[in-house]
Structure 1
């Protein structure tokens, strides 16, 4: 009885911890999105320099990651040659810098709620790019689901009260670059047996992002900031904003490491609905019934996609377990046959003697 009680207590503790990890990730992700919107929006803090903001994040994250890896030895660096770094990490850093630049730029032109609706296209982009790069197999059922998600987002865009074509192009570009980055991580790193947690990822990738962002910054934002000499750098605002961005990376590591990437996908859907509600009720963004209908349709498609992934994952685990059981049974049978043959040979030798 006591043993059963301990088991139930352990399961309950695991469930509570899982929900805690999810809550921490949702809170920090929520904070970073709202904070970035606050800084970049011309009607709020009015600092519309997305490249500069992204560079501040990357400089801050690079510095903290360097301290954690090299000074405090909190995380061991991954063994990586310069050749691998240039061929694998640098392209990923380029894609990440473009994704962050465009996604932060979109906050200047679009509402928080509409950006979350457009982000529902991420599974579509990841699957399509995976098929094009021959990382995923084409399945008509999956593609039909991707089309339904796209139709839902299209309806949401049609019903957007403050539609901005440039903002939509920026966000769609960010989705494409981010999806390509995720696929390239599987091709360039995971396939080679290299896994990077958020700290080592920032240690290797953030300096690349900083270098790549510096090039457009020199031509696009530096001249404007130079003219605006009266601007005062607010260390509290940008320091706390960068700290939130770094903490979010740690929360991702905690959530995926203690639960699964699928859990984060499901939690992301919950976060999106919370952001839409917050955007409508607090920021007073206009959310139309057509918006909600379209996003609801996309939400169902994303939910089905996650369900299919979970089902495939369970089937794969069951197949692996069955294979291991068959291999173990074969090994035991071979050992038994070997022992039987040994006994038979021994008896034969005894009869000959």
Structure 2
């Protein structure tokens, strides 16, 4: 009974983190869509810069003032080589993905995000962190076909928004791959507060030039009406999402997040339809079913790979113990034979 109670408690805790992440993520996406497309603030770069300014301030206070988390004490050279490329890619991804909300519905944007596993896999193959496999490539083509069908069925498709969203996904896939190469492989894995402290300022610097070139003139010529409470709430929601992602992966796994993400996307399609009256066609849903099938196969392949690696890890100590025992027995037999001689 005690074992059953512990299992039940673990399951409830996992579901709690899943529901927390899904709720915060959905809230942030719908909040950003409303702010950019309906509230009279069509400035995605300025909004992203505000998020990064807020997150950089929180990170600085937590690490340098309150000392809640230790810093990695990077040298300026390490920061430029390891963090700045990630920050610039993150800036481009956030800028373009937020810009897409001006032209595309939330439901269609979520459908295009099904491409992420394929893009991460392609970037991994290109940069040497993944091995090419025909089965994985065929699965990614299945997902891509589903997204094409979704686009064909989109009632209010704007090519500029679609291009921005696809390029944003490509930048995000490259960022995730570079995190693995430049940070994780060097033992510089970061928790959310460390990520805010290091990556947010780099992202903010990466957004400065696009803001000057694209939005600054309009922003300062016809400044929008800004309600501080709304923007503080929006920034707090973005900060809460960072924490929710960390808690979900830390307490469950990245695979759980991928599976929960599919459910979250279906919920966002529903909310987008009823809140913003974004039309969803049967062809949209048919294409997205293809995407979900491909993502499901991808998650299954990842699960099998994780199980295979775990099995190999358990076999390796046993094999080493057997080898050591055989070596010891061989040495003992050799000594016995020598004493007889």
Could you say which TM-score interval applies, normalised by the shorter chain? Answer: over 0.9
Given candidates 300, 303, 312, the residue that maps to 2:296 is: 303
TM-score normalised to structure 2 length:
0.95
Q: 1:181 aligns with which of 155, 168, 175?
A: 175
Question: Among 96, 100, 108, which residue is 1:102 paired with?
Answer: 96
Which of 184, 189, 211 does residue 217 from structure 1 map onto? 211
Matched, 1:266 2:240: no
**Is the counterpart of residue 36 in structure 1 residue 29 in structure 2?**
no
Please say if 1:138 is aligned against 2:132: yes
Spell out, residue by residue over 1:237-264, the C-alpha distance to the aligned partner (whole angstroms, 9 max, x if none): 1001000101110111111111111111
Q: Please report the TM-score for the alignment, with normalisation by the length of structure 1.
A: 0.92
What is the CA distance between 1:162 and its match in structure 2?
Answer: 0.3
2:6 maps to what in 1?
Answer: 10
Q: Secondary structure at the match of 2:101?
A: helix
Name 1:47's counterpart in structure 2: 41
Deviations 1:173-213 (A, max 9, x none): 10000000011111111221221122111110100111111
CA distance in 2, matches of 1:214, 1:208: 10
What SS does the aligned partner of 2:102 have?
Answer: helix
CA shift at 1:334, angstroms?
Answer: 5.0
State the shift of 1:6 in Å: 1.2
- Structure 2 gaps, min length 5: none
Say which SS state the counterpart of residue 84 (structure 2) adopts. helix
- Aligned partner of 1:164 among 122, 143, 158: 158
How many Å apart are 1:72 and its aligned residue?
1.5
Matched, 1:244 2:240: no
Size of the alignment, in residue pairs? Answer: 341
1:60 to 44, 54, 62: 54
Q: Mark the runs of 5 or more structure 1 residues left unpaired by the alignment.
A: none
How far, CA to CA, are the matches of 1:150 and 1:183 in structure 2?
20
Which of the pair has more CA radius of gyration? 1
Measured after TM superposition, the shift of residue 77 of structure 1 is: 1.1
Check 1:341–1:68 CA distance in 2 against 1; reply closer, same or farther (3 A cut).
farther
Q: CA RMSD in A?
A: 1.9
